[in-house]
Amino acid sequence: MVTKEQIIKWLKLAANVMQENKEWLTQLDAAVGDGEHGINMARGFQKVSSHLPSVADEDIGSILKSTGAILLSAIGGAGGVIFGTFFIEAGKVTSGRQELGSVDIAAFLKAGLSGVIKRGGAQVGDKTMVDALAPAVTAFDRSLEDGADTTEALGQAVAAAQVGMTETTHLVAKKGRASYLGERSIGHQDPGATSLYLILKALYDAV
Amino acid sequence: MKKLLNKPEDFVRESLEGVALAHSDTVKAHFEPNFLYRADAPVSSKVAIISGGGSGHEPMHIGFVGKGMLDAACPGEVFTSPTPDQILEAAKLVHRGKGVLSIVKNYSGDVMNFQMAGELLSSEEFRFINVLIDDDVGVKGGLSTQGRRGVGTTVFAEKICGAAAEDGYSLDDLVTLCRRVNLSGRSMGVALSSCTVPASGVPTFELGDSEMEVGIGIHGEQGRERMPMMNADSITELLSLSITEDPAYKRSLPEWDEGTCTWIDRKVTSQPFKPGDRVLAFVNGMGGTPLAELYVVYRKLFEICREKGLEIVRSLVGNYITSLEMQGCFITLLKTDDELTRLWDLPVKTPSLRWGI
């Protein structure tokens, strides 16, 4: 079971992790994009973190939705829409909840993924955050089927996200600014996939 | 990298404050959400035109707000698209019931944020239509990429549609006009140096003294290929030929559908330039290249156009779409006709483009 307190802890942790990895993410982005991803993600999650006290009395769905809305406007760019959509869609399926069972986590990961695909149009293999998120969703479901508890399943999801993130290095970008590079995008890890991995890792560390 | 900067996080806001103070007769600034709008908005007799994009490209778009061009511009963070709340509030403030044309450059972030704004505005009483600009021939690979980016043709679209709105065009006519302008323009750019995002403090990429990046984007994203540095005439030839020799460009371009509030794919074609065409010619500096060098480029562009049978009827030379302090330039050619040239000539009064008034 994941409690509301753990969700709040996750979001605070994510803000710290984004701050710590700001320069790394920005360097990854400079190689294939325009070098602002880390700065924008850190700014967005900082704002989420400072906003948490005012939503602490609300349910998990509301907290996740307001997180998404803040990310949307505070990150800006494609990243704001994509990461904002992930949290808004996750918030919609956890509406009214004070704690989440493993099935709820599975539902929110799935809702987040389908929202992101619908908005951004990226498929697996396009060198985007979907390449980390999609295998994480699959790994989480599979672990539950194998009898794992929430924490174990999250561990498997994070491991799958990490593999997906690392493998983006070998892909040709087909979406976003990196796609302008074509073959020249090979050899660079996708910054969005990296951020998604860090966010999931923070969730695992929080529970 | 030294910059005239206080705190990086205050850069966009402070710059917006400065524009509003320097041109208080023309524009006003709105904060949280950030946008710049015409001092006399809403103008009741016309369709409103808005645009927006990342900061760091000034004067685009905030320098183009005023009579005869944009009613509002939404600046995002540096090289980051604006967010739906900015677009929403700007549209609501400047419209007067005749609808809003929103001119969007084809970058994934801009497209997604304007798309969300369009969805959120669909419940409002006024019409809001997004039109995309995708004119950068530097992007290779067609469907395997995000498609061509929006660059120089954006300035033509904003000026020409802005004039047409003052002239009484309806929203539907403006949408048709804006799409036609987009299909008539092509751009190609080169970077001679990188740029430094204020919050990052280090150059986005490294470029050696003897190298140049051809087919560069306006955000420091790398271009089509890295080549040895050449002289001005050879660079101008390389850029202009990429434009004049570009074959018909067919693609599915997302067009905003008001019924479903989504982009629907429509097959469109930009026809190649051919001898006898009249063109508007634009040599744009990226921020760090002296005007004198841009005129060296224009001189050669003029010669090439003459050889190709293209008649330059109007020209624009200067820093209009910048990438912070990047050195380099973009060339844009737009096939024109009597209607487009007349609209280009109509009066405009904005902080950065001003004539006839």
**Interface confidence (ipTM) of the complex:** 0.82
Q: Which CATH number does A2-206 carry? A: 1.25.40.340
Q: What is the mean pLDDT of residues A123-140?
A: 96
Q: In chain B, what residues touch A82 (CB-CB under 8 Å)? A: 112
Is pLDDT above 70 for B135? Answer: yes
A73 and B85 in contact by Cβ < 8 A? yes
User: pLDDT per residue over A7-16, tens digit each?
Assistant: 999 999 999 9
A76 and B146 in contact by Cβ < 8 A? no
Distance between CA atoms of residues A132 and B88, nearest Å: 32
Q: Is B95 a catalytic residue?
A: no
User: pLDDT per residue over B228-241, tens digit each?
Assistant: 999 999 999 999 99
pLDDT of residue B228: 97
Share of residues in chain A with pLDDT > 70 (%): 100
Q: Mean of the per-residue pLDDT values for chain B?
A: 94
B348's torsion region: left (phi>0), alpha (psi -120 to 50) or beta? beta
User: pLDDT per residue over A35-66, tens digit each?
Assistant: 789 999 999 999 999 999 999 999 999 999 99
Pair of tokens at residue B87: 């677009």
Peptide bond into B272 cis (omega under 30): no
pLDDT of residue B353: 98
Share of residues in chain A with pLDDT > 90 (%): 85
Q: In chain A, what residues touch B113 (CB-CB under 8 Å)? A: 76-77, 80-81
**Among candidate residues A10, A91, A90, the one with its CA nearest the CA of residue A45:** A10
User: pLDDT per residue over B185-215, tens digit each?
Assistant: 999 999 999 999 898 888 888 899 999 999 9
Instruction: Tell me the fold of B187-244+274-335.
Output: Hypothetical Protein Tm841; Chain: A;domain 3 (3.30.1180)
A56 and A37 Cβ atoms separated by less than 8 Å: no
B222 and A181 in contact by Cβ < 8 A? yes
Q: What is the mean pLDDT of residues B332-338?
A: 98
φ/ψ of A91, rounded to 5, equals: -70, -35
Q: What is the mean pLDDT of residues A184-193?
A: 93
CA A118 to chain B, closest CA, distance in angstroms equals 11
pLDDT of residue B142: 58
User: For residue B52, what are the β-bridge partners?
Assistant: B74
What b/e string do you get for A160-176 counting C-beta neighbours within 10 Å, with b at 16 or more?
Answer: bbbebbbbbeebbbbbb
pLDDT of residue B261: 76
B312's torsion region: left (phi>0), alpha (psi -120 to 50) or beta? beta
B344 and B314 Cβ atoms separated by less than 8 Å: yes
B222 and A184 in contact by Cβ < 8 A? yes
Pair of tokens at residue A49: 């973190």
Instruction: Tell me the fold of B11-184+338-355.
Output: Rossmann fold (3.40.50)
- Poorest-pLDDT segment among A97-106, B142-151, B201-210, B336-345: B142-151
The answer to whether domain B11-184+338-355 and domain B187-244+274-335 are alike in fold is: no
User: Integer distance in angstroms from the first to the last C-alpha of chain B?
Assistant: 39
Distance between CA atoms of residues A29 and A173, nearest Å: 13
Pair of tokens at residue B139: 């992007």
Is pLDDT above 80 for B220? Answer: no
Residue ranges of domains in chain B: 11-184+338-355, 187-244+274-335
Residue type, A93: V
pLDDT of residue B307: 98
User: pLDDT per residue over B139-167, tens digit each?
Assistant: 876 556 788 999 999 999 999 999 999 99
Residues from B in contact with A at Cβ < 8 Å: 9, 33, 54, 76-85, 107-109, 112-113, 116, 138-141, 144-146, 149, 197, 199-200, 204-205, 217, 219-223
Share of residues in chain B with pLDDT > 90 (%): 83
pLDDT of residue B143: 55
Is pLDDT above 80 for B223? Answer: no
Q: What is the mean pLDDT of residues B96-125?
A: 92
Q: In chain A, what residues touch B109 (CB-CB under 8 Å)? A: 76-81
The three-state (H, E, C) secondary structure of chain B, written as one string: CCCCCCCHHHHHHHHHHHHHHHCCCCEEEECCCCEEEECCCCCCCCCEEEEEEEECCCCCCHHHECECCECEEEEEEECCCCCHHHHHHHHHHHCCCCCEEEEEECCHHHHHHHHHHHHHHCCCCCCEEEEEECCECCCCCHHHCCCCCCCCHHHHHHHHHHHHHHCCCCHHHHHHHHHHHHHHEEEEEEECCCCECCCCCCECCCCCCCEEEECCCCCCCCCCEEEECCCHHHHHHHHHHHHHCCCCEEEEEEEEECCCCEEEEEEEEECCCCCCCEEEEEEEECECCCHHHHHHHHHHHHHHHHHCCCEEEEEEEECCCCCCCECEEEEEEEECCHHHHHHHHCCEECCCCEECC
Q: In chain B, what residues touch A30 (CB-CB under 8 Å)? A: 200, 204-205, 220
